[in-house]
């Protein structure tokens, strides 16, 4: 009898939490698609794309707004289902942790690009400062210095191309030319 009541309690919990969550998820997705279709109909009757194209904007604003409505409704549905299951705060913390991790990785990757350019830029400017209008020829790159920035130099080639040359490249080529 004890096993029977345990199985009944487990099935009752399963139906109340998981079953309701799955049904809510399907109903939410159906409502999201209905909301997107309603938004599509309303926006097409309002001729939003025609109005925006008169202003000179070339984009399918109706499609963007319909997708926004659909994705927003999906997100609300998922949040409500996670709240019903009692795991919203855990999922939120996991997503927030992953976002912080990606931001930290992005900062590190950008610093790996910026720091060498800053250091080599200071070394090159101390030894041989670049000024706007100077002729610069390093490796297969040559042209007139257009702008001098913190991490790179922009030059205008004889073919009128504008190139941004990072300082690490200039320093590497400068070292090769001295040998």
Each residue of 116-154: pLDDT tens digit?
Answer: 988 988 888 887 777 888 888 888 888 999 998 888 999
User: In which band, very low, low, confident or very high, does the pLDDT at 175 lie, cut at 50, 70 and 90?
Assistant: low
Which is more confident, 13 or 81?
81
What pLDDT was estimated at residue 155?
92
Give the burial class of 4: count Cβ atoms within 10 A of its Cβ; 0-12 exposed, 13-18 middle, 19 or more buried: exposed
Residue 178 has pLDDT above 70, yes or no: no
Residue 177 has pLDDT above 70, yes or no: no
User: In which band, very low, low, confident or very high, does the pLDDT at 68 lie, cut at 50, 70 and 90?
Assistant: very high
Most confident of 12-21, 55-64, 69-78: 69-78
Calculate mean pLDDT across residues 62-74.
94
What pLDDT was estimated at residue 2?
78
Calculate mean pLDDT across residues 97-126.
91
**Which stretch of DSSP H or E encloses residue 164?**
strand 162-166
Name the average pLDDT for the chain: 88
Which is more confident, 173 or 77?
77
User: In which band, very low, low, confident or very high, does the pLDDT at 176 lie, cut at 50, 70 and 90?
Assistant: low
What pLDDT was estimated at residue 179?
38
Q: What is the residue extent of each domain of the chain?
A: 2-86, 89-179
Two structure tokens written together for 114: 């910026």
What is the CATH class of 89-179?
mainly beta
Q: What is the pTM of this model?
A: 0.60
Calculate mean pLDDT across residues 12-34.
89
Strands 141-148 and 162-166: unpaired
Alpha helices, DSSP H only, in 18-87?
A: 20-46, 48-54, 61-85
Spatial separation of the C-alpha atoms in residues 87 and 83, rounded to whole Å: 6
């Amino acid at each position: 009898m004890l096993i029977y009541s345990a199985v009944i309690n487990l099935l009752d919990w399963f139906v109340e939490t998981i079953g309701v969550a799955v049904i809510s998820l399907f109903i939410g997705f159906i409502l999201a698609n209905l909301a997107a279709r309603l938004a599509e109909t309303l926006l097409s009757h309002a001729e939003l794309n025609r109005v925006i194209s008169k202003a000179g904007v070339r984009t399918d604003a109706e499609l963007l707004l319909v997708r926004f409505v659909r994705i927003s409704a999906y997100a609300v549905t998922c949040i409500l289902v996670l709240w019903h299951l009692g795991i919203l705060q855990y999922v939120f913390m996991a997503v927030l942790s992953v976002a912080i991790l990606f931001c930290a990785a992005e900062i590190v990757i950008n610093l790996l690009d910026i720091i060498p350019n800053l250091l080599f830029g200071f070394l090159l400017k101390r030894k041989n400062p670049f000024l706007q209008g100077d002729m610069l020829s390093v490796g297969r790159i040559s042209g007139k210095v257009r702008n001098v920035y913190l991490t790179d130099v922009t030059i205008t080639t004889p073919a009128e191309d504008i190139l941004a040359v990072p300082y690490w490249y200039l320093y590497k080529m400068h070292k090769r030319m001295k040998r």
